[in-house]
C-alpha cells in the first residue's frame, strides 16, 4: 500500500506471508537492507508511523466508510444523470468512495483505453470550471474521493456545477 494508508504522507506497507518474509530476510544481507528496497528513508519514520496510526484508527473506520460509500454513490449518480441527460459518450467509474468520469462510452478496461479516452483541453475546462465554482477535483483525473468530512451538500454542489457545465457546453 502506498501513501493512502498514511492519509497522504509518504509511507508504504508491505503485506506478505511468513514464508515470503523469511525468503526476503534470507536473501538480503543486513548491511544492504536500505539499498535492497526494504527499509530506507521512509521506512518507520515517526511522522509516517503516526500518520498511519491516525489514518487507520481515526479516518478509515467502519463509521467513516458507512458515510463515505453512500456519498460516493450519490456523487456518481449525479454524474451519470448529467451524462445521460446530455447524451454524452462518457462514463462514470465507481470504486468504493471514489468516482471518476471519463470521455469513453464504456468504462476503460486498460491503461491504453483510458489514455485513448483522454482529452487534455476538455479536462482543463472541467477542472477550471469546477475550481472557479469552489470545487477541487483530483488534479490529474476527473475524480473525486469522498472523505469523512465530505457532506451531502458538497456532493450536491458538484452535481449542480457538473450539470451546469454540461449545459454550458451545449
Domain boundaries, the chain: 3-59, 62-169
pLDDT at position 27 is 80
pLDDT at position 42 is 53
The DSSP secondary-structure symbol of 9 reads S
137 class by beta-carbon count within 10 Å (0-12 exposed, 13-18 middle, 19+ buried):
buried
Residue 31 to residues 19, 35, 107, Cα–Cα distance (Å): 22, 9, 47
pLDDT at position 129 is 96
Tell me the longest C-alpha to C-alpha distance in the chain.
63
pLDDT at position 36 is 47
| Cα(156)–Cα(163) distance, integer angstroms | 11
Cell numbers for 27, please give them: 536473501
Which residue bears the cell 479516452?
A: 117
The CATH number of 62-169, from 1.20.58.480, 3.10.20.30, 1.10.3720.10, 3.90.1150.10, is 3.90.1150.10
CA dihedral 43, 46, 49, 54 (to 10 degrees): -160
**pTM recorded for the entire structure:** 0.78
Q: In sequence order, what are the residues at sequence separation of 6 or more whose Cβ sits closer than 8 angstroms to the Cβ of residue 67?
A: 146, 148, 150
Cell numbers for 170, please give them: 451545449
All residue ranges of the chain with pLDDT < 70 are 1-2, 29-44
Amino acid at each position: 500500500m502506498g501513501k493512502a494508508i498514511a492519509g497522504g504522507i509518504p509511507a508504504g506497507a508491505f503485506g506478505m506471508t511468513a514464508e515470503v518474509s523469511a525468503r526476503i530476510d534470507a536473501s538480503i544481507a543486513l548491511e544492504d537492507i536500505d539499498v535492497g528496497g526494504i527499509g530506507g528513508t521512509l521506512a518507520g519514520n515517526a511522522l509516517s508511523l503516526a500518520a498511519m496510526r491516525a489514518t487507520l484508527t481515526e479516518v478509515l473506520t467502519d463509521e467513516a466508510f458507512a458515510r463515505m460509500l453512500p456519498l460516493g454513490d450519490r456523487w456518481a449518480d449525479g454524474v451519470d444523470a448529467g451524462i445521460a441527460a446530455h447524451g454524452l459518450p462518457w462514463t462514470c467509474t465507481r470504486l468504493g468512495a471514489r468516482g471518476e468520469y471519463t470521455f469513453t462510452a464504456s468504462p476503460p478496461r486498460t491503461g491504453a483505453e483510458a489514455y485513448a479516452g483522454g482529452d487534455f483541453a476538455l479536462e482543463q475546462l472541467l477542472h477550471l470550471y469546477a475550481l472557479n465554482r469552489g470545487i477541487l477535483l483530483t488534479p490529474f483525473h476527473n475524480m473525486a474521493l469522498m472523505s469523512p468530512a465530505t457532506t451531502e451538500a458538497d456532493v450536491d454542489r458538484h452535481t449542480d456545477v457538473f450539470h451546469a457545465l454540461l449545459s454550458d457546453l451545449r
